[in-house]
Amino acid sequence: MADPLAQVETPECSAKGCRAAAQWALRWNNPRLHTPERRKTWLACDTHRETLGDFLGARGFLRDVTPFTPSPTLEG
Ligand SMILES: [Zn+2]
């Protein structure tokens, strides 16, 4: 039987309908809902880094964008 840890899916882009592998982590905070230190994370592929970033940026939510690297222990 499969190792349960092996069933962890490759992190995907958070954009609706996008199944591309995540390449970027967008860290954001909604001051109306979250304490200032709190960070929500959206994952984005190369294409949607801008789309999602614009969405968050337009609302003043975007705090940080960092390259997202899946676990370095994974192959490839
Ligand atoms: Zn995407």
Tell me the CA–centroid distance for residue 1 and ligand 1, in Å.
32
Question: What long-range pairs does 66-72 form, CB within 8 A, spacing at least 24?
Answer: 66/24, 66/25, 66/27, 67/23, 67/24, 67/25, 68/11, 68/22, 68/23, 68/24, 68/25, 68/43, 68/44, 70/10, 70/11, 70/21, 70/22
In this prediction the pTM is 0.78
Q: How confident is the model at residue 69 (pLDDT cuts 50, 70, 90)?
A: confident
Tell me the per-residue pLDDT of 2-24, one tens digit each, with 9 for 90 and over.
555 555 578 999 999 999 999 99
Domain boundaries of the chain, sorted by first residue: 12-67
Tell me the CA–centroid distance for residue 70 and ligand 1, in Å.
15
